[in-house]
Amino acid sequence: MTQPYYETMYILRPDIPEEEVETHVNRYRDLVVDAGGDVLDCQMRGKRRLAYPIAKHREGIYVQLNHNGDGQQVAPLERAMRLSEDVIRYLTVKQDGPMPPPRSIPAAVSAGSEPQPEQA
């Protein structure tokens, strides 16, 4: 039987500098560790167009954080995101299946660039 893990996806404002994006990513990783959880994977998904406007933003910087723990790490993490003006949306989901292998994201995709379509 596989051990459950948590997947937190959050969206940062598109107009913040890349250094500040890294600061947020590191801050939320540290919060999980400080609350007794283990960070399994953290992936920067890059800037993408939102399905609908959120707080007058049409784009956002997506970050996915996979973490293990007893669930006590979720409340402080979400509280910090709720209080941050740079996080425009977040969601934590408990996953019961095996963790998928990390998807390779091209090095050219960063917080400030548009994702390139995959070639078939």
CATH code for the domain of 81: 3.30.70.60
So what's the pLDDT on residue 71? 86
So what's the pLDDT on residue 70? 87
User: What total of structural domains would you count in the chain?
Assistant: 1
Residue 113 lies in a domain: no
- Could you report the per-residue pLDDT of 41-55, keeping only the tens digit for each? 999 999 999 999 999
Residue 88 lies in a domain: yes
Q: How far apart are CA 74 and CA 69, in angstroms?
A: 9
Q: How far apart are CA 73 and CA 81, in angstroms?
A: 13
Q: Which one is predicted more confidently, 96 or 120?
A: 96
Residue 109 lies in a domain: no
Is the backbone of residue 94 left (phi > 0), alpha (psi -120 to 50) or beta? Answer: beta
The domain of 35 spans 5-95
Nearest to 9, CA basis, from 88, 91, 73: 91
So what's the pLDDT on residue 103? 59
Q: Distance between terminal CA atoms of the chain?
A: 36
Instruction: Read off the tokens for 107.
Output: 């090095």
- Could you report the per-residue pLDDT of 70-106, keeping only the tens digit for each? 889 999 999 999 999 999 999 999 988 777 666 554 4
